[in-house]
Chains A and B, each alone.
Chain A
């Protein structure tokens, strides 16, 4: 199967390791991976901060870049949710833009959705001998309704001990520009999240969204906790040979 990788601007710029992990994982599962070079950003930051015109331009660019692909895979719950939930509201009903959006939206998948719903695989042959807890992230949970897809994938990883995260469904406090517009509340939410993470005794906090992990990880690092953050793709890409 030929798959277009939508890396997302945050991963492209700050977390290239996640992109490399997705490429290696999808190839291991027999997919042909393409990276359309013209891709940039889904427009979430602009739309959610109140800059709709800029967001609409980026959405138009996205639909042009990814038109015609059988499947577009994004290693980010919130960017995939942006495309699926918000894109249809950005174009005038009946317009050319609306048609382009309707054409591309059903083929955009968050990584765990693509693995479980399209490739029908739960055991991806990964090996990761560590104690891990999983934060489901709001847009994956309440936007995309990923449910237990990510944890089902993690449960099949050999050597991995998955420990439940108390208050898992609560927001970590990132929220895009919310983190800098409302820093006190964002930090208070982050502090409660990291306390819950530390209570699990996990070595690694895993999530399917690096933007949330950047906030939680930045807080864990500032607190000098020693707990690492890892994107789901990076754990799923790990193999015994690579260890």
Chain B
């Protein structure tokens, strides 16, 4: 059972401070993000029409989101026609209730899972456990996180914070029937996981998945993956339940052409992912249920600036290029959605009521690397700045900003403040007090000049 993020104490700066001091974590993250970053840059660089593809991805998603009501109904009709059953879930609790009810109706108490962000978001595994149902993650990285009773720290590579020797320890400790002489050689680790999982695939009667895309016109769901565990889960069990966010919709089959190019190149840095599974409804002898999840998405859709976050295809390119994510790690964001996309998605889906969620829009230097890498051109810095205007501010900060605004709004006031600073220039301590001590803990303060530029100009040029 992996742990839950809800109610996590602290805020982003405090969480990040702990992570920054963990040199093993920083080494693991730097190595992993820089490797994927390099692979992505090289396969994206191969396509002369990448910017056009990116613009097409953005346009298709925007069109779909503008007409979401219509396309969702069309999807329901298509899935129903193909023999599936569609359920609508307003929030996490409702989705969890529906899924638990469907599993119970089969009489099973164990399910296998395909890696899915939506089910992580609603904490489905925990909800199922409360109903006496055990969910087994089958994606290798999700398995590592689940066995280690850990938190995911990356959208695509949830165990990115672990290196191979740590993974070996987890397997030896938690995996039944694992050989004592297990090495930390990646093929040996993969083989151990394979043997462990194979049994589950053959035994399980119920599988739970998410989906990367849903096609309204045909009712087809699509999962892209690398390991083949998804293919096993999607085909072997008698009952398949897919929990999918309502924004994962595409109008037509043809739209997949754009996204099947954008996603693998942006996520794993591959031209094409090893497994692409598509299914439409249910075949005879099998059951298919689609749970359409809102959980705050229609509220996000109502926000003119923030709604672009719903274009996200969960590729993680923004995480892999983010200098803040690289140093703070995924856990600091206190959500299944870490990194730049998490910093704009979590406060919109959960609100900014907690100290942690209110600190997320500030978890960025606004360097813009995320926007540049995003395959659907989400202007993450723009949304961050917009969320900052809506975030709660401390009384002391508000007062400071008001005074600064008052001084800066008039050049004579500014000149007087500059002259006052000049008079005190020799008295500036090496360590500043209050919130400014955060500056002088690691940096020297610049020397205040004898004269501001405007006073120099006045003295030399106006005369």
Contact = CB atoms under 8 A, between A and B. Distances in A.
Contacts, number: 183
B284 interface: no
Given A40-B408, A185-B20, A219-B443, A16 B451 contact: yes
26 contacts: A7-B453, A12-B418, A12-B454, A15-B453, A19-B456, A35-B461, A37-B454, A37-B457, A40-B408, A45-B404, A48-B366, A50-B391, A51-B393, A52-B389, A54-B405, A58-B409, A138-B367, A171-B369, A184-B20, A185-B324, A188-B26, A189-B365, A217-B444, A217-B446, A218-B442, A222-B444
A182 B12 contact: yes
B388 A171 contact: no
Nearest to B442: A187
A174 interface: yes
B442 A183 contact: yes
Give the residue among A16, A19, A89, A184 with the most B Cβ atoms within 10 A: A184
Nearest to A7: B453
Contacts of A175: 364-367
A52 to B, nearest CB: 5
Interface string A6-28: 01010111111101100000000
A84 interface: no
A182 B366 contact: no
Interface in B439-463: 439, 441-446, 448-449, 451-454, 456-458, 461
Interface in B229-248: none
A138 B446 contact: no
A180 interface: yes
A218 B365 contact: no
A155 interface: no
Main secondary structure of the interface of B (DSSP, over half): helix
Given A40-B409, A47-B385, A138-B368, A184 B13 contact: yes
A156 interface: no
Q: Is the interface of A mostly helix, strand, loop or mixed?
A: helix
How many interface residues does chain A have, given as a range? 35 or more
Nearest to A169: B369
Interface residues of B, number: 60
Given A14-B446, A47-B385, A171-B369, 16 more contacts: A7-B453, A19-B457, A45-B404, A52-B389, A142-B367, A143-B368, A173-B323, A175-B364, A175-B366, A175-B367, A182-B324, A183-B442, A184-B16, A190-B443, A218-B444, A222-B444
Nearest to A213: B446
A189 B323 contact: yes
Contacts of B452: 12-13, 16
Contacts of A16: 449, 451-453, 456
A130 interface: no
B187 interface: no
B411 A40 contact: yes
